[in-house]
Amino acid sequence: MKKGFLFLVILIFSTGLFAKWTKDYSKFPIIKLFSKDGKNTGSSDGFVEISITDAGKYTGQICPGVTAGFIMTKIALEKLYNGIAEKGEIKLTGSKNSGEPLGIAVYITGANFLKEDVKIDPSLVLKDPMDIMIIFERKDTGKKVKVVYHKGKLFGSSYTKLKAIYKKMEKGKATETEKGEFAKGLQEKVTELLTAYEKGIIEVIK
């Protein structure tokens, strides 16, 4: 690799030209965990901080599903631990429609598929078919927390329109105006999740 090109690559990363977010997510609380592997390998002091933008870098986007998964995990870890949660010591069980939120929970907690820390339970059926549930369980104590994301309550009447635009986008038939409406609509829901999720949009159930 030529030195000039290498310098350009370093310059691009150092100036933050990648990952330019359209919103300021810095005010939203971070999730703190402890990683034994980080400590044991000498790569860090073991403490890890994960933000909503870290989740966005992991998935390539910050959408309602990613945001819901981040908040669900944050709430669950606060319920399971009096202090800092331990990465890699949580089992996850998701409803069959939990896809994106469950993926974020896996990323944050370090749940390992090879150790059977993650599973989908088709029997987790809620009253509203749009609702998503994730059960978080501590490996050491067996303590569990059930968290539900009421997706239908978040989207309300806008869901049908946004879904229709998304289908057109998948087929390459959406206009630029429709694409703009879709992006704006989703980011409005992201903001609502970050600022008002406690209003029954995401809740812990027994």
Q: Tokens 């009421």 correspond to what residue?
A: 150
Query: According to the model, what pLDDT value does residue 48 have?
Result: 95
Number of domains in the chain: 1
Query: According to the model, what pLDDT value does residue 139 have?
Result: 97
Would you place residue 1 in the very low, low, confident or very high pLDDT band (cuts 50, 70, 90)? very low
Summarised one tens digit per residue, pLDDT across range 37-84 is 888 899 999 999 999 999 999 999 999 999 999 999 999 999 999 999
Closest CA to 18 of 27, 10, 7, 28: 10
Would you place residue 20 in the very low, low, confident or very high pLDDT band (cuts 50, 70, 90)? confident
> Is 34 inside a domain boundary?
yes
Residue range(s) defining the domain that contains residue 77: 27-151+200-205
> Is 107 inside a domain boundary?
yes
At residue 201's C-alpha, the angle toward residues 159 and 31, to 5°, is 115
Q: How far apart are the C-alpha atoms of 74 and 67, rounded to whole Å?
A: 11
At residue 55's C-alpha, the angle toward residues 50 and 57, to 5°, is 115
Q: How far apart are the C-alpha atoms of 25 and 187, rounded to whole Å?
A: 12
For residue 78, give the CATH number of its domain. Answer: 3.30.1330.20
- Helix then strand then coil, in percent of the chain rounded to 5, is 45, 15, 40
pLDDT(17) > 70: no
**Burial of 172 (C-beta count, 10 Å sphere; 0-12/13-18/19+):** exposed
pLDDT(14) > 90: no
Summarised one tens digit per residue, pLDDT across range 26-45 is 888 899 999 998 888 999 99
Summarised one tens digit per residue, pLDDT across range 120-172 is 999 998 999 999 999 999 999 999 999 999 999 999 999 999 999 999 999 99
> pTM score, two decimals?
0.88
Mean pLDDT value across the chain = 90
Helices and strands (DSSP H and E) totals, the chain: 8, 8
> Is 193 inside a domain boundary?
no
Query: According to the model, what pLDDT value does residue 6 have?
Result: 42
